[in-house]
């Protein structure tokens, strides 16, 4: 899963069958995106990760 901090959403690819990342599966597998995103957010919290902040012009 590729997570974009600028609000552009996520991308999800099956790297075994699509190593060139041509077919984004995020819309087809929203339950998997939600699960992976939750795990990522818990990991950020657990590790006290510093997350990027968008600057406004």
Q: pTM for the complete prediction?
A: 0.77
- The Cα–Cα gap between 23 and 30 comes to 14
Q: Which residues pair with 2 in a beta bridge?
A: 11
Q: 3-state class of 9 per DSSP?
A: strand
44's tokens: 């950020």
Q: Which of 14, 40, 17 is nearest to 28 (CA)?
A: 14
pLDDT in tens, the chain (57 residues): 999 887 778 999 999 999 999 999 999 999 999 999 999 999 999 999 888 877 777
- The Cα–Cα gap between 55 and 6 comes to 10
């Amino acid at each position: 899963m590729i997570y974009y901090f600028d609000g552009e959403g996520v991308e999800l690819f099956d790297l075994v069958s699509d190593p060139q990342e041509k077919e984004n599966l995020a819309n087809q597998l929203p339950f998997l995106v939600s699960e992976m995103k939750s795990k990522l957010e818990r990991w950020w919290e657990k590790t006290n990760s510093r997350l990027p902040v968008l600057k406004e012009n």
